[in-house]
Amino acid sequence: IMFFLGVKDDLIGISPRKKFIGQALAAVLVILITDVRIHNLDGLFGIWELPYIVSVLISLLFFVFIINAFNLIDGIDGLAGTIAIIASTVFGFFFLLQGDHLLMLISFILVGALLAFLRFNFSEKNKLFMGDSGSLFIGFLLTYQSICFLGMNTAESIWFTMPNKPVLILAILSFPILDTFRVFIIRIKQKRSPFSADKNHIHHRLMCLGISHKQCTLMLALVNVFVIVVAFLIRDLNINTQFLIIATLIPVLGLLPCLLGREKGRIKLQVPKLSRA
């Protein structure tokens, strides 16, 4: 459903309303048929087991949000693919340690496919674009991986324990989540539809500073990795403390274009103008 929805959007275009309905339909089918849903929050905000209806609704919203988040960050060469590689690699690693070979295989197959895609996506001669057919499907797969990871019982693992799974998921998907919240808030303030297109994404702001597609992708990927590392290092703290730290750290991503823009302006002011002879 997600793939063909994206293909139709790439070829003839689909209204945001119809796209949302298609995404919700695909998510509902997966949730109800496979029972892959957010069962509990591991004590985040004092919440453990969720009632069935609440669990289904939260899972549905999570599916639709992350699917759209990856669709929205697919604005420059390599960005959505690189962020997806990072996320799927981390999930695949934990699935491997847990001994869930099917989910591990799904994760690493996605990584392999995206690595091959990036070769052409960055190419000048034989360029290949992801399109909605790719970004929607990738967002769907990563949401599925996230919920499966959240449902893992790492307390019985002989390899590792991960008491902060909700926080780690927030860190793994930090850039798509931040950028989506950011542009939605900007568009709502401007009294426009949250799904209307514009150039207010973080990657667009960075490119306005003269940063290339590859440099922008590398910069944002490294910051995303940094947030993941921080979340892993603080995993033994109280889960609410962890959430506060990561939720405070993530908005630094949103300030990155402003900080770089000010620094660039300061450097220009310090460069003396050469007088003509």
pLDDT for 48 beyond 50: yes
Question: What confidence tens digit (pLDDT) does each residue in 166-209 have?
Answer: 999 999 999 999 999 989 888 888 888 777 777 888 888 888 87
Phi, psi values for residue 154, rounded to 5°: -75, -10
Q: Count of CB atoms within 10 A of residue 156's CB?
A: 8
- Give the residue ranges of DSSP H helices in the chain: 2-11, 16-34, 52-73, 79-98, 101-121, 131-150, 165-172, 174-189, 202-207, 213-233, 239-249, 251-270
Question: What confidence tens digit (pLDDT) does each residue in 64-107 have?
Answer: 999 999 988 988 888 999 999 999 999 999 999 888 999 999 99
pLDDT at 155: 57
| Domain residue spans of the chain | 2-266
Distances (CA, A) of 274 to 42, 80, 263, 266, 277: 62, 43, 21, 18, 9
Question: What confidence tens digit (pLDDT) does each residue in 235-272 have?
Answer: 889 999 999 999 999 887 777 766 766 655 554 444 44
- Cα–Cα distance for residue pair 158/154, rounded to 1 Å: 9
